[in-house]
Amino acid sequence: MATKNHDRRWSVVAGALIIQGSLGAVYIWSVFQTPLLAQFPRWSETQVTLPAQLVIAVLACSVILGGFIQDRLGPRLVGSLGGLILGLGLILAGLTGHFPSGPALAWLIGTYAVLGGIGIGMAYVCPVATCVKWFPDKRGLITGLAVAGFGAGAFFFAPLAQALISGSDYELFGVALFPLPQAGVFNTFIVLGVIFLLAVVLGAQLLRNPLPGYCPPGWTPPCSTSSQPSGQSDFTPESRPESNPKPDFTPNFKPGKMLRTPTFWLLWITYLAGSTAGLMVIMKAAPIWKAFSLSAAAASEIPVSHEYFADIASAAAMAVAVLALFNAAGRILWGRVSDSLGRRPTLVLMFILCALVLFALDWMRPYPLYLLGVSLIALCFGGYLALYPAICADYFGTRHIGVNYGLLFTAYGSGGLLGPFLAAALLRTDGSIQYQALDATGSLATGVFQLGEYNVAFMSAGFLCLAAALLTLALRPPQSDKPGSRTCAQDTLMSH
């Protein structure tokens, strides 16, 4: 039975990757931004950014709801429900074009941001909470894998969305794979909604919690005589079945108790800083590159033809796709590194690297350098999404991991509001430039792109990351109320 359960845990990882790959398409918003501005010229930069901000915030709040329900009813039901709500939200977002400018923005927020965010949040927590229970022996690595799809989804879906909007070839790394018909920006929402609904519901069928007292074969907790690493079991000594007599002194903080610890709030603040910096770039990667490119065109007085603008848009979509790969890779890489180096040193390293790149990003305007810059930021951002659920399980246990990590995840949601807002609010406008693009009927139409500089936003986010690195040095595990000064698991964490 133990071997069967052990083998089953990898099918849970497969389900997690299917779900997260679909949910991660939330990062492709920047591909929609310019086409939406062309459809609704009265929208400002701040307004067109608003759905991207709110979907992250709603997502984060919904993780708490999803975690609460899945802790009681299991991950399969909650994951399936999340997929249905997400798909419905995007399908309804496809009706945005039927409304005038003002109501259209409200409709898009209600469907894409609110319904979509609820669906993503409910489905997101299920793979994370389930995988940390199956893998107490590889917690950093497995949380990285569990959320890797969330970063990688944009790699496949950003080029798909771009090709469907414009009616061009589906390209990966500049290689045209197959042509796609022009669906337009609104029908692209519908197509993606159907895809995500089916994929998330299918992946959720592979999720299930381990049996009580599950322990991977061949793995011995570091300190089984006085405590064990948080996450080996969800059961206190009083509720552990007699057939598995190993003592369990895992902290297993309840949500209310966790919120009263300074450790939680220190984690929350640093998570907010990393999320703000990462989402500022990830959610604006396409318009930032267009601003870089079109500023050069304006300076040289090159007319922005349809072909030239299409090349810029294609390069922008490729940037979103490439950073998605690094986002996914960062979740696996930094999760694995943290299992060896320790969570705290790994976080400090990531914050410093992210800050240095942000300080230099405005000068990285040649396309290869721009790709390198945004990819390194995405690499670090992916690491935050892998390490914070692992730290939450390390410090507060897994019995209430769904709700506990949901509460910590609100820092990510707040970063989703703050990061894109800073990018838009601190944008220094430098005029505008006209460009030609195909409209929904396939005819050439003239659009106006607002030129601007993002350097102040980049610098602000860089200083946030440096501050987070300093705060992380003060991070310590919370004290348990159980007898003894510290649990053995806490001693191990302190050494990291």
| Residue 469 token pair | 């690195």
What confidence score (pLDDT) does residue 438 get?
60
- According to the model, what pLDDT value does residue 442 have? 59
Task: Report whether pLDDT(258) > 60.
Answer: yes
Q: If you average pLDDT over residues 204-232, what whole number do you get?
A: 64
Answer with the residue of higher pLDDT: 51 or 235: 51
| pLDDT of res. 221 | 59
| Most confident among 112-116, 222-226, 246-250 (mean pLDDT) | 112-116
Size of the chain in residues: 496
Mean pLDDT taken over the chain: 81
Rounded to 10 deg, the angle between the 139-166 and 116-134 helix axes is: 150
The total of other beta-carbon atoms located within 10 Å of residue 310's CB is: 17
- Of 23-27, 303-307, 336-340, where does the model show the most confidence? 336-340
* Predicted confidence band of residue 234 (pLDDT cuts 50, 70, 90): very low
- Reported as type and span, the H/E element at residue 405 is helix 401-425
Query: Mind listing the pLDDT tens digit for each residue in 276-292?
Result: 999 888 878 888 888 88
Token pair recorded at residue 485: 């000064």
H helices present in 260-342, as ranges: 262-282, 285-299, 306-341
482: exposed, middle or buried (Cβ count in 10 Å: 0-12, 13-18, 19+): middle
Whole-number Å distance between alpha carbons of 462 and 478? 29
Whether 313 shows a pLDDT value over 90: the answer reads no
d(C-alpha 405, C-alpha 130), whole Å: 12
Q: Which of 459, 268, 471 is nearest to 355 (CA)?
A: 459
Which of the residue ranges 233-247, 287-301, 427-441 would you say has the lowest mean pLDDT?
233-247
Cα three-residue angle 411-412-414, rounded to 5 degrees: 65
How large is the average pLDDT for residues 41-45?
83
Confirm if 82 and 66 have CB atoms less than 8 A apart: yes
Q: What is the CA radius of gyration of the chain?
A: 23
pLDDT confidence bin for 66, thresholds 50/70/90: confident
CA dihedral over 67, 71, 76, 80, signed as positive or negative: negative
Write the single-letter amino acid at 299: A
pLDDT of residue 265: 95
Q: What is the pTM of this model?
A: 0.69
Q: How confident is the model at residue 167 (pLDDT cuts 50, 70, 90)?
A: confident
Query: Which of 39-53, 353-367, 375-389 has the least mean pLDDT?
Result: 39-53
For the chain, the straight-line distance linking the first and the last C-alpha, in angstroms and rounded, comes to: 35
Q: Which residues pair with 172 in a beta bridge?
A: 175
Q: What one-character-per-residue DSSP string does 322-361 give?
A: HHHHHHHHHHHHHHHHHHHH-HHHHHHHHHHHHHHHHHHG
Average pLDDT over residues 82-97: 95
pLDDT at res. 251: 67
- pLDDT surpassing 70 at residue 477: yes
What whole-number distance in Å separates Cα of residue 322 and Cα of residue 53?
22
The pLDDT of residue 266 is: 95
Higher pLDDT, 296 or 438: 296
Torsion of CA 479, 482, 483, 484, to 10 degrees: -30
Across the range 12-20, mean pLDDT stands at: 88
* pLDDT given for residue 318 in this prediction: 84
Residue 484 is which amino acid?
A: G
Q: What is the residue type of 352?
A: I
Flag whether pLDDT at 483 surpasses 60: no
pLDDT tens for 104-125 read 999 999 999 999 999 998 998 8
Of 126, 125, 192, nearest to 164 (Cα)?
A: 192
- Give the pLDDT of residue 215: 78
> Which range has the top average pLDDT, 48-57, 96-105, 446-455?
96-105
Predicted confidence at residue 299, as pLDDT, reads 58
Tell which wins on pLDDT, 128 or 355: 355
